[in-house]
Amino acid sequence: MVSKKITFIVNPNSANGATGRQWPPMRSKTRDRLGPFDELMTNGPGHATLLARQTVRSGVDIVVCVGGDGTLNEVINGLMNEKSSLESEVLLGFIPSGTGCDLARSLPISLDLDRALDNILSFRNRQIDLGKLTYQDHEGLTSCRYFHNVVSLGLGGEVDDRVNRTTKAFGGFISFIWATLISILYFHKKQIQLRVDDNFDDEVTCWNVAVANGQYHGGGMWVAPGAAINDGLFQVTVVGDLSVIEAFWNLPKLYNGKIYEHEKIMKLVGSRVVASSSQPVLLDMDGEQPGRLPVVIEVVPSALRIICD
């Protein structure tokens, strides 16, 4: 049993509704292990952010997110304030239960409930960086969001849009790979003016630009091998001017860690990324599609503590 005040924020619709069906037995086991805790269920997009903000103001010690990367992103945005710092010293827990759950591939976050509860009981945690994204939302207004994993510009946004408009019943890998294959057929490469710190400033013709805090996105695509979530830097992967045939032929490199072996795929490193385009370019942020270019993306070092192995 723990003496700290704990709130679980649960997205019952994540994993195509599987989280809602699995939560009652998970709740029972969690109460047996942790003792009393508060439970809040989300009811739609953006609700987890409001719930997280309310729990922090109520003086909670630990907020545990049960859902996918999109729900986790919302919770993190509720924990952060406009000054790029935590509203309090709250610890963040994450029990992955969603379509992607890619953060669990970059951090030692257990997919096993018993192990996850052990970590909450022992307060094991790690300090991680976040990214701060300033972008144009769907109404054409300038907005600001935080992200924990990856922001991608171009094909990634198109894939998210397609995944979120179709069923996720076949799980993360199938959902994202199918959407990627279809999007490649219809997507037109973009001209993006890209600046990374003072090291790179040029227009690139590309399929996608991934600004990575973690290593994986899109249900297991290894888009940034070697990226570290606590080094104060982004790893930026530019998938350049490949033909459609080259894009299909080299798709396995997105999963086997050999992405940088292709001469048209470029790796950059920096803490601030600025991108714009005269064309409409959609964004992917932690598996969600919040808007489009132009963007400014900045590292927020050691922004929060997350419970993990």
233 lies in a domain? yes
In the beta sheet, which residues pair with residue 249? none
Q: Based on the structure, what is the number of domains in the chain? A: 2
The proportion of the chain whose per-residue pLDDT surpasses 90, expressed as a percent, equals 68
Supply the pLDDT for residue 81.
Answer: 78
| Domain end marker among 105, 129, 153 | 129
Q: Which amino acid is at 284?
A: D
Q: Find the mean pLDDT for residues 269-276.
A: 98
In the prediction, which pLDDT does 82 show? 63
Q: Is the pLDDT of residue 172 over 90?
A: no
Give the pLDDT of residue 28: 95
Domain match, 100 and 149 both: no
Together in a domain, 123 and 136? no
The domain in which residue 110 lies consists of 6-129
Task: Look at residue 218 and tell me if it is in a domain.
Answer: yes
CA-only gyration radius of the chain, Å:
19
Structure tokens at 206: 């590309």
pLDDT digits (tens, 9 = 90+) for 52-92: 999 998 889 999 999 989 999 999 999 997 656 676 789 99
- 274's enclosing H/E stretch is strand 272-276
User: How far is residue 202's CA from residue 191's CA, in Å, rounded to a whole number?
Assistant: 10
The answer to whether residue 307 sits within a structural domain is no
Q: Mark which of 84, 100, 129 sits at the end of a domain.
A: 129
Round to whole Å and give the CA distance between 156 and 217: 9
Number of Cα atoms under 13 Å in the Cβ half of residue 38: 17
- The angle subtended at Cα 157 by Cα 152 and Cα 159, nearest 5°, is 115
What is the distance in angstroms between the CA of the first residue and the CA of the last residue of the chain?
Answer: 19
From residue 231, give the alpha-carbon distance in Å to each of 73, 138, 168.
Answer: 20, 32, 33
Q: Are residues 110 and 157 in the same domain?
A: no
- CATH number of the domain to which 143 belongs: 2.60.200.40
Q: Can you give the pLDDT at residue 146? A: 96
Instruction: Tell whether pTM > 0.85.
Output: yes
Contact 256, 247 (CB under 8 A): no
Contact between residue 151 and residue 236 where contact means Cβ atoms under 8 Å apart = no
